Chains A and B, each alone.
Chain A
Amino acid sequence: MARMVTTRNKVISTAAAWLVGFLIFFPILWMVLASFKTELEAFAIPPSFLFFHWTTENYVTVQERSDYFHHALNSIIIAGGSTLIAMLIAIPAAWSMAFSPTKRTKDVLLWMLSTKMMPPVGVLVPIYLIYRSFGLLDTRAGLIFILCLGNLPIVIWMLFTYFKEIPKDILEAARMDGATIGRELIYVLTPMAVPGLASTLLLNLILAWNEAFWTLNLSTLEAAPLTVFIASYSSPEGLFWAKLSAASTLAIAPILVLGWFSQRQLVRGLTFGAVK
């Protein structure tokens, strides 16, 4: 028997869902609101919710004091670059593991995942020293390299599960139809894998954009992405809530917009393979 859905239940569950959604979103909303307040109003008690003096001067100050566009460009280059390189390495890797697995394939996959279980701080000192010796500190290349390395296991795992979902029969049908490996890739496999590739790309982009541990520790100014830009507002100047909020809003805006437009793809990607 189907479960009874009464109007009252519907209203209650809808209201509850909105409440939970609002609670989750509230910190972001509060940050955005605070970024339009003056410093005084930003930590006034009781706080004013909407009726305060709206101002954009925080944004102007933030851009003047520390070059937002410089950091945003770094973020784009570092997140984009590390994602692209990770995909280039991961696609063939996941491909071979999914379609011509050997006895050790499972072990390799687990070993790769196990590298993510180690806390990054455990290798901070050696990595820092290596970077210093090779002149990679505060360079975009250095950050691209470390983020790419850090995300590779996840990217390979995701792509592996996507490729695994493609029935072997279809590839064999293509072989019977006379497709060479190259044409099989172009005409059969890639079109079937596009949704998987897209959500992997997107997730990796978001992970790389938000990564704060390595970017904060290995860059200071030249290569510093938006994470460093936000962090610079928290300590040295005391607590300037309004400016910190403005900086944070600016930093998360691009990824928030990207995430909003691709949420359907992302959700599909993250739950892919859960049910047949």
Chain B
Amino acid sequence: MGQITLQGVQKSFGPVHIIKGADLDIADGSFVVFVGPSGCGKTTLLRLIAGLEDVTGGAILIDGRNVVDVPPAKRGLSMVFQSYALYPHMSVRGNIAFGLKMAGVARDEINRKVEAAAATLNLTPYLDRKPRELSGGQRQRVAIGRAIVREPKAFLFDEPLSNLDAALRVQMRLEVTRLQKQLGTTAIYVTHDQVEAMTMADKIVVLNGGKIEQYGSPLELYEKPANLFVAGFIGSPKMNFVTGELAKQQGATTIGVRPEHLKVERNGQGGWHGTVSVAEHLGSDTFLYVDAGPQGMLTARYIGELDLHPGDKVSLIPDPARIHRFDDSGKSIRA
């Protein structure tokens, strides 16, 4: 079991409020991603759950028990750090076994569990190596091995993939997701990369300025963003925002349209007219950055190749069903 509940969790460092009251329900076995810009408090929130920081207020419940006064090791969680934080003087085996050794597990059982974990992570040939003799991806796997071997109630990942190169990151992303599904253990994963968030999560927590902006499944966040911040943060390229007269016509202060929901037409009628300023041809997609006069710079995404070049005149027609409307305070207006 690994059900985690946050009730009004607050954290301040001196006069600075980092977490301004977070309420959250994380179901057993789910993969939850904390995402947000740097400084939004996502790592702090994770460290509060881990017990590496003390809460200023509120309660953290693991399987119904308030753990705010329980030391980290007794919370039954394990953590994977951004820097891997491997013990440099111990072999891979020693690193993975350390937690079990501290828990006083019998030697035979430690060996059995370490070898099982190593097999799961393809680390068997490296068991007797030191961390400095491993590549970045292997070190990352050792850090994960150290976490899974203790069979925790939940895994806490603190931006574990940010030190890896792009290709390896995609591969490890898959491996982590697959492993989590296979073990069925609750996971909380912190990242600033919204692609990681969208691809890995069952549910995403979008944080901004120490507050939870929205909590929902990736598609909920994509289709029904609660406010301007979430709308702009989730989705790549970013959602286009238009204010002024056009928004007023829709009964909103700001309207938003995702680049993929703008239909591109050459010299077409209707919609928003503009001039292509940059065209990115990826083969599979074409990204157009269009100077649309009163509407400002707009981004449009076309699936497939579109033979357009800077200077070409285009019109962009928003899909009426996919226009997001926001009020004065930036909250989403639902029809």
Chain A residues in contact with chain B, CB under 8 A?
167, 169-170, 172-179, 183, 187-188, 191-192
Contact = CB atoms under 8 A, between A and B. Distances in A.
A160 to B, nearest CB: 20
A170 B82 CA distance: 11
Contact of B87 (A172, A178, A188): A188
Given A177-B99, A177-B102, A170 B87 contact: yes
B88 interface: yes
Given A169-B81, A173-B81, A178 B102 contact: yes
Contact of B52 (A172, A177, A188): A172
Given A177-B73, A192-B89, A169 B83 contact: yes
The 4 A-B pairs with the shortest beta carbon distances in the complex, nearest first, are A178-B73, A169-B85, A177-B99, A173-B85
Contacts of A174: 87, 98
Contacts of B50: 176
A177 B102 CA distance: 7
B185 interface: no
Contacts of A173: 79, 81, 85-87, 146
B40 interface: no
Contacts of A188: 87
10 contacts: A167-B83, A172-B79, A173-B85, A173-B146, A174-B87, A176-B73, A176-B79, A176-B99, A177-B98, A187-B98
Given A169-B85, A170-B85, A170-B87, A176 B77 contact: yes
Contacts of A191: 89
A263 B73 CA distance: 42
B184 interface: no
A180 to B, nearest CB: 8
Most buried by B among A167, A174, A176, A179: A176
B250 to A, nearest CB: 49
Interface in B89-105: 89, 98-99, 102-103
A204 B308 CA distance: 73
Contacts of A172: 52, 72, 79, 81, 85
A122 B99 CA distance: 55
Contact of A175 (B52, B82, B88): B52
B102 A179 contact: yes
B72 A176 contact: yes
Given A173-B85, A178-B74, 6 more contacts: A176-B50, A176-B99, A177-B102, A178-B102, A183-B102, A192-B88
Given A172-B52, A175-B73, A177-B73, A167 B102 contact: no
Contacts of B85: 167, 169-170, 172-173
Contacts of B30: none
